[in-house]
Each structure stands twice: as structure tokens, then as C-alpha cells.
Structure 1
Amino acid sequence: MVRIKRGNIARKRRKKVLKLAKGFKGAHSKLFRVANQQVMKALKYSYVGRKQKKRVFRRLWITRINAITRNRYNKPYNKFMHEIKKENIGLNRKILSGLAILDPVTFDKINCHLDSVFSSKICDNKQDKY
């Protein structure tokens, strides 16, 4: 049998894994075999977490828009979004949620526009509301 000399490559691979495991507790950051398992698991969780983050934020934005439209305008979320889509207003849920919290006057103007188009209501924009 011919001797295979690859100590350098193996050492680099182990160092790379142990570097990724830095900050893990106990043997999970010291021993290669355990650290390798934990790094693989952590990478898997981080991949899944990136997908879950998108879902969680979308739910948050929907909840915020729903709460604001129900409280201020007595209009449910689905009706509000239906009117937004019908009018081809190019604002997504993230932007609408941010507007509702940070700039309620602009959000009121959007709702006034939707009311004037869909229910022939004329609404007055009161600036002293907020």
C-alpha cells in the first residue's frame, strides 16, 4: 500500500470546522467530531431560519395592517388589500405597515383615495388627528 500524505489538507478542513464552531459550548467547540456535527446542524438551522424569517415578518405586517384598518376605518384587512390591488397601488405589505406606523397621515390619504373610488365617500383629511 502506498502511503497517502494529506495531513495538511485534513488539518485545514478541521481548522475550518473548528473555526465555524467557535462560541459553541464545551466539546462542541473543541473536539472535531462533535463540532462537525454541531456545525452541520447549525448550518441547517440557519438555512431554515432564513426561510422562517420571511414568513414571520409577513405575518407581522399583515397583523399590523389588519389592526390599523379595523380600528381606524372599520375595514377588514382583506377588503383593504382587495381595494389596493384593484387600484393598482404598488405598495407591498411591508411598506404599508411602515406607513401606518411611521406616517399615519399618508396612510389616511391612501385610505381616503380608496374610499372615494370604491364607496363614493368624501373624507376630510384632518391633520390634527395624530
Structure 2
Amino acid sequence: MPRVRKGSARKKAHKRVLREARGYYGTKSRHFQQAKVALTRAGAFAWRDRRARKRDMRRLWITRITAA
């Protein structure tokens, strides 16, 4: 009997990553390894920018309140 190395689990994981990377440019949407890196970076940037957006909005609100 042949040895199976995470057959269906691996396929499921790869499918999920590639589905989430849809719309990315070139290799990043087609190759698993590139897609995984792109998703990790996208997540990191999204996390950082959510905090940055809060900062920016706070500054804008303060400016508007001061001007009023």
C-alpha cells in the first residue's frame, strides 16, 4: 500500500490559500508558496493599517472639533 502524505488535508489547505489569493498579480495568485507569502504580508499590512486608520481618524476628528 502506498504511503500517503497528508493527501486530502494538504489539498484542502492549498485550495484555501489559493482561493484567498485570488485577484493577486501574476504568480502570487497561481502558485501556493508565493500565495502563502503574499497572504501573510497582506495580513500584516492590514493589521498595521487598521491601527493607522484609527490614528488618522482621531487626528481628523480633533481637527474638525477644534475648527468648529
Q: TM-score, normalized by length of structure 2?
A: 0.88
1-side partners of 2:44 and 2:50: how far apart? 10
Alignment match, 2:20:
20
User: Post-superposition shift, 1:67?
Assistant: 1.8
More helix by share: 2
Structure 1 stretches of 4+ moved >3 Å: none
1-side partners of 2:20 and 2:29: how far apart? 9
CA RMSD for the aligned pairs? 1.5
User: Post-superposition shift, 1:25?
Assistant: 0.7
User: Post-superposition shift, 1:3?
Assistant: 2.9
Q: Which has the larger radius of gyration?
A: 1
Percent of paired sites with the same residue: 37
Per chain length, whose mean CA-contact separation is higher, i.e. which structure has more relative contact order (CA < 8 Å, sep 6+)?
A: 2
Q: How does 1:34-49 map to 2 (within 5 A)?
A: 34-49=34-49
Please list every run of 5 or more consecutive structure 2 residues that lacks an aligned counterpart in the other structure.
Answer: none
Alignment match, 2:59:
59
Q: Deviations over 1:53-78 (max 9, x none)?
A: 1111000000111122xxxxxxxxxx
Q: Deviations over 1:38-57 (max 9, x none)?
A: 00000111111111111110
AA in 2 matched with 1:10: R
